[in-house]
Amino acid sequence: MAEAFSTVFQDEALVVRSLLESAGIAAEIAGEHILDVYPIFFPEQRGIRVVVPDEEAEDAAAVVAEYRAAKAARGASPGGGEAAGDSPGPGQA
């Protein structure tokens, strides 16, 4: 298994895993059973790792690169930034 992505945010790892699976890439979160029991416990200093089969690593890297580019374009950290529909309403700046 090859590491496709790592983060300290469990929700971000779940999003990336979902993106990979949507692209037809088998992905799993390494040590996910530990996160179910201790959601704030990171078994490794590298954080929460999303892994894929070695033969799908290149395709996974492309999906992750697209995710990172979209995230950088928003200038947002997990949970940050403006989502569609979150723009200020009339009279709000």
Residue with tokens 């088998």: 26
pTM equals 0.69
Look up the CATH architecture of domain 2-74: 2-Layer Sandwich (3.30)
Residues 23/58, Cβ–Cβ less than 8 Å: no
Which residues partner with 76 through β-bridges? none
| d(C-alpha 81, C-alpha 6), whole Å | 21
| d(C-alpha 48, C-alpha 55), whole Å | 21
Tens of each residue's pLDDT in the chain, 93 residues: 999 999 888 889 999 999 999 999 999 998 766 655 555 555 556 678 999 999 999 999 999 999 999 999 988 555 544 443 343 444 444
